[in-house]
Chain A
């Protein structure tokens, strides 16, 4: 196997990894504010894709506008979900909330089937044209969008968490709810904002991947599993950890295909994930003692 092939495997891994990272970012944001793994995160990815397809094909809107509708529409659904299904549970018991998100996941994917139908739908690539070639490997233009938007999301989130008052309050809230109140921010509002952000990111992931993979009412769970695995592998701490987790998972899969077997790629990456957890129970970059459940 020559260098061009190796590069190609790495690119494939990074491409999948960026998608996982985008989904994992959504998990991280909700986890930071509530201590909850949001099982509906994958459905946000599905909704982002479905809404933008609907806006583009059914309403006939131009692609950039349709993409925006996909992202914002999903954010609105995320907020509504939080207000109706998460906030009323006053004690914030994480396990109860997790099961609520499981219910939400079932509800959202099946409502999507009723609204958009059971067939898969597609979206054109953001930038048309042949894929780029370098060093004997190729990269399609849509992947550049995925890389770029994932990087942008990380930068924006990092700045948001470290530079803005709201972001700092959200971090404070994840450590201690009273601390957040001391800074003068209502923790309940922070949870709503975190759902809006997570849903928007999920929607973004759906919008950028649909041109590559199409979308359907039932794609949410596989995105959810991969994103959850990436978030845990990185360590449920900060945006950087989620991205590293996603990229590592993507590379693990493509290297399994390259050197071992494509049949067992998921099994291999899950075994590695288990080994990492057994050696470092808090994930690659996670810090101990932050566990909430």
Chain B
């Protein structure tokens, strides 16, 4: 079988000989040299690493829709100081490695000056090494606390993080006279992150956790976990998950005849939840930003105008109201664009980063953003509001 080894080697050699010239060629590839009309300035390129396939495909799709719609609008309005904006999209397939390779590609091959992404917290964290190396700013639409808690001067976040939502929500629960809660969370990144924050903050809110349960993505029934919570005498159930299993939890509670209220988080601000849980969703309360109901802003305010305009345009173009993920992508893009507007021609990525950090009072979809050298999440509890599901619709909770 020595022949076999020889074959191994020959084939590898052949493969390499094939690969080397191909790879070699790539050194002069990549650069787009097509001529452009003189009056149009070079585009500013922004990379976007989104989960268009894989587990988070349902989140990546509205994010991409939003970016495409908003960039077209910005360019129609003349771009940034005459420069059109070009977004280079990459799909990370909800996989950290792919996100890393995509980031390297965007930085080195496409020469982007900022990156929006990734959809998921895991992929966002994985990109960090490349972001740090290139020194370009990253705006993540992922909600994990780790994104900004594990601080990186280059990384900014647009969603409300659990560390912002949870204390707000616990205070609300306490105000309802509830002191004993049962906690149920998914075993993935979002649920673990949120459950960790809940456990850390309950004592300060004057609430105790009487039962703590978990479930996995793909589980078909949570009535066993809920039975335990019920037996422990919980006065309310607090659920932390962004998955479709949220609907199963709500339904199981109804089917078990549990009458205690169910609270969720911003992870449940999707119409699919109400469709899935049906009657089980009635009375469900959760904290989220004000985009779900622009009425929660004063109708004359800037926030109201921005939110209604975005909702109307998105609904008209995609035949569906935007969800919160669309809003996070909107904010990420506009924060970068606004920062670019403040800079002179020929700015560096470092200057762009500084300008983003200087964002002060930007009125976005998720809320009003004010970044600082220590706060890269940028929002406050003022941007949150409690919702309640009534007759299959979101209304403001009392």
Q: Please list the residues of chain A having a beta carbon within 8 angstroms of any beta carbon in chain B.
A: 1-2, 5, 8-9, 11-13, 15-16, 19, 110, 113, 117-122, 124-125, 131, 133, 138-140, 209, 212-214, 216-219, 221-223, 253-254, 257-258, 261-263, 266
One of B57, B61, B257 near A131 (C-beta < 8 A): B257
A214 nearest CB across to chain B (Å)? 4
- Whether B251 pairs with A11 at a CB distance below 8 angstroms is no
The interface centre, meaning the residue of B218, B231, B256 with most chain A CB atoms within 10 A of its CB, is B218
CA distance A124 to B280 in the complex (A): 12
Task: List A contacts of B218 (CB < 8 A).
Answer: 219, 221-223
- Whether A11 pairs with B272 at a CB distance below 8 angstroms is no
Q: Which of B180-204 contact A (CB under 8 A)?
A: 187
One of B187, B216, B248 near A212 (C-beta < 8 A): B248
CA distance A9 to B228 in the complex (A): 9
A34 nearest CB across to chain B (Å)? 26
- Whether B255 pairs with A214 at a CB distance below 8 angstroms is no
- Whether B224 pairs with A254 at a CB distance below 8 angstroms is yes
- Whether A257 pairs with B225 at a CB distance below 8 angstroms is yes
Q: Please list the residues of chain B having a beta carbon within 8 angstroms of any beta carbon in chain A.
A: 53-55, 57-58, 60-61, 187, 213-221, 223-225, 227-228, 231, 244-245, 247-248, 251, 254-257, 272, 275-276, 278
Task: List A contacts of B272 (CB < 8 A).
Answer: 119-122, 214
A251 nearest CB across to chain B (Å)? 10
Q: A118-B57, A212-B248 are in contact. Are A8 and B223 (CB under 8 A)?
A: yes
A211 nearest CB across to chain B (Å)? 9
Task: List A contacts of B221 (CB < 8 A).
Answer: 12, 15-16, 212-213
Q: A113-B53, A133-B257, A209-B220 are in contact. Are A263 and B214 (CB under 8 A)?
A: yes
Task: List B contacts of A5 (CB < 8 A).
Answer: 227-228, 231
Task: List B contacts of A133 (CB < 8 A).
Answer: 257
Residue contacts A-B, CB under 8 angstroms, 22 given? A5-B227, A5-B231, A12-B223, A120-B58, A121-B272, A121-B275, A124-B278, A131-B255, A131-B257, A133-B257, A138-B257, A140-B251, A140-B255, A213-B221, A213-B247, A214-B248, A219-B218, A223-B218, A258-B228, A262-B213, A262-B215, A262-B225
A5 nearest CB across to chain B (Å)? 5
Task: List B contacts of A217 (CB < 8 A).
Answer: 57
Q: A119-B272, A213-B220 are in contact. List 12 more A-B contacts (CB 8 A).
A: A8-B256, A12-B227, A118-B58, A119-B61, A217-B57, A218-B54, A222-B216, A222-B219, A254-B224, A257-B224, A258-B227, A262-B224
CA distance A138 to B57 in the complex (A): 36
A19 nearest CB across to chain B (Å)? 6
- Whether B224 pairs with A12 at a CB distance below 8 angstroms is yes
CA distance A214 to B214 in the complex (A): 19
Chain A residue with Cβ nearest B192 = A263
CA distance A95 to B225 in the complex (A): 39
Task: List A contacts of B187 (CB < 8 A).
Answer: 263
Task: List B contacts of A221 (CB < 8 A).
Answer: 218
Task: List A contacts of B55 (CB < 8 A).
Answer: 218
A48 nearest CB across to chain B (Å)? 14
Q: A8-B227, A9-B224, A120-B272 are in contact. Are A212 and B57 (CB under 8 A)?
A: no
- Whether B224 pairs with A118 at a CB distance below 8 angstroms is no
CA distance A236 to B237 in the complex (A): 41
Chain B residue with Cβ nearest A16 = B221
A24 nearest CB across to chain B (Å)? 14
Closest 7 CB pairs of A and B: A222-B218, A118-B57, A140-B255, A120-B244, A12-B224, A257-B224, A254-B224
Task: List A contacts of B58 (CB < 8 A).
Answer: 118-120, 216
A217 nearest CB across to chain B (Å)? 7
CA distance A223 to B231 in the complex (A): 29
A105 nearest CB across to chain B (Å)? 14
Task: List A contacts of B247 (CB < 8 A).
Answer: 122, 213-214
Task: List A contacts of B216 (CB < 8 A).
Answer: 222, 266
Q: A16-B221, A122-B276 are in contact. Are A110 and B53 (CB under 8 A)?
A: yes
The interface centre, meaning the residue of B214, B221, B247 with most chain A CB atoms within 10 A of its CB, is B221
Task: List B contacts of A8 (CB < 8 A).
Answer: 223-224, 227, 256
Task: List A contacts of B215 (CB < 8 A).
Answer: 262
Chain B residue with Cβ nearest A124 = B278
CA distance A144 to B257 in the complex (A): 17
The interface centre, meaning the residue of B53, B224, B228, B276 with most chain A CB atoms within 10 A of its CB, is B224
One of A138, A213, A222 near B255 (C-beta < 8 A): A138
- Whether A214 pairs with B276 at a CB distance below 8 angstroms is yes
CA distance A13 to B224 in the complex (A): 8
Q: A9-B227, A263-B187 are in contact. Are A138 and B217 (CB under 8 A)?
A: no
- Whether A1 pairs with B224 at a CB distance below 8 angstroms is no
Q: A8-B256, A110-B53, A214-B247 are in contact. Are A16 and B220 (CB under 8 A)?
A: yes
- Whether B57 pairs with A113 at a CB distance below 8 angstroms is yes
Chain A residue with Cβ nearest B213 = A262
CA distance A140 to B223 in the complex (A): 11
Task: List B contacts of A263 (CB < 8 A).
Answer: 187, 214
Task: List B contacts of A214 (CB < 8 A).
Answer: 244, 247-248, 272, 275-276
- Whether B275 pairs with A122 at a CB distance below 8 angstroms is yes
Q: A122-B275, A266-B216 are in contact. Are A212 and B251 (CB under 8 A)?
A: yes
CA distance A219 to B254 in the complex (A): 24
CA distance A253 to B215 in the complex (A): 11
B198 nearest CB across to chain A (Å)? 15
CA distance A89 to B212 in the complex (A): 51
Chain A residue with Cβ nearest B218 = A222
B245 nearest CB across to chain A (Å)? 8
CA distance A246 to B57 in the complex (A): 30
CA distance A254 to B219 in the complex (A): 12
A222 nearest CB across to chain B (Å)? 3
Task: List A contacts of B256 (CB < 8 A).
Answer: 8, 131, 138
A252 nearest CB across to chain B (Å)? 11
Task: List B contacts of A253 (CB < 8 A).
Answer: 224
One of A118, A125, A258 near B61 (C-beta < 8 A): A118
- Whether A19 pairs with B220 at a CB distance below 8 angstroms is yes
